[in-house]
Amino acid sequence: MKSRLFILIAAVAFLCMIQTKHAEAQSAKKGMIKVTILYPNGEGKKFDMNYYTTKHFPMLRRLFGNTLKGTAIDKGLAAGATDAPIPYLAVGYLYFENVEAFRDGMKIHAKEIRGDIPHYTNITPIIQISEVVE
């Protein structure tokens, strides 16, 4: 009986997590700003996805507060060509109403955010700021 209850609770928690991630990704609306953080693959490059998802992104959500409208994380699986290595180990997305919201947060928290990077990767991230078109 206890094992069935545990399985039921685990299943509900998993479904809630999926729903939350879906809601975060769906929060991007036309005209919003998307900050894309790319982690290129390469020889000797390392990336700790568990730390990124359980420590770094929650820290970003806490630091940016309600100015951060949504987040998403992609894990690289394959390249377009069958024999090519994956171009990016991971890609993170942060959604804001405008560029100023992102830049204002970075002015305050850049040192803490950048200081956390060595905890999960030895890659220098590439940042792109774009406008959601569709």
Percentage of the chain surpassing pLDDT 90?
76
Using the Cα atoms of residue 93, residue 95, residue 96 and residue 98 in order, give the sign of their dihedral.
positive
| CATH code of the domain containing 81 | 3.30.70.100
Region 52-80 average pLDDT: 97
The pTM for the full model equals: 0.79
Region 115-126 average pLDDT: 98
Residues near 89 by beta carbon (within 8 Å), at least 6 away in sequence? 39, 40, 41, 45, 47, 75, 76, 121, 123
Q: Is residue 15 part of a domain?
A: no
Tens-digit pLDDT profile for residues 5-33: 444 344 434 444 444 444 455 568 999 99
Range of the structural domain that residue 31 is part of:
26-132
Q: Is residue 12 part of a domain?
A: no
DSSP string, 33-56: EEEEEEEE--TT--B-HHHIIIII
Q: Is residue 87 part of a domain?
A: yes
Q: How many domains does the chain have?
A: 1
Backbone angles phi, psi at 88, to 5 degrees: -135, 135
Residue 34 has pLDDT above 80, yes or no: yes
Q: Is residue 4 part of a domain?
A: no
